[in-house]
């Protein structure tokens, strides 16, 4: 039996050699922004709303 993947990864933009991706934790619904620029580095941060609370995706199926 295959284990279900916990994270959903969606590329939202590519520009030049950079890639911007939203990673969603399927268990908690918390969303993260991942930016990757080859030969320069990468960074990941929690997406937050105007009140500073983590942005949540709809986790219901």
Split into its structural domains, the chain has a count of: 1
Taking the model in full, what pTM does it have? Answer: 0.79
Mean pLDDT, rounded, for 22-33 = 95
Residue 34: which of 6, 25, 26, 4 has the closest Cα?
25
Domain that holds residue 36: 7-46
pLDDT for 15 equals 80
Residue keyed to tokens 């908690």: 28
Q: Is residue 58 situated within a structural domain? A: no
pLDDT tier at 2, thresholds 50, 70, 90: confident
Per the structure block, which two tokens stand in for 6? 């916990």
Q: Is residue 53 part of a domain?
A: no
Q: Which residues contact 54 (CB under 8 A, 6 or more apart)?
A: 30, 31, 46, 47, 48
Question: Does some domain include residue 51?
Answer: no
- Domain membership of residue 52 (yes or no) is no
Q: For residue 18, is it within any domain?
A: yes
Average pLDDT on 5-14 reads 90
């Amino acid at each position: 039996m295959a284990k279900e993947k916990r994270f959903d990864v969606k590329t939202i933009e590519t520009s030049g050699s950079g890639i911007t991706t939203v990673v969603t934790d399927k268990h908690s619904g918390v969303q993260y922004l991942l930016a990757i620029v080859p030969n320069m580095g990468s960074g990941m941060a929690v997406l937050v709303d105007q009140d500073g609370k983590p942005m949540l995706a709809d986790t219901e199926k």
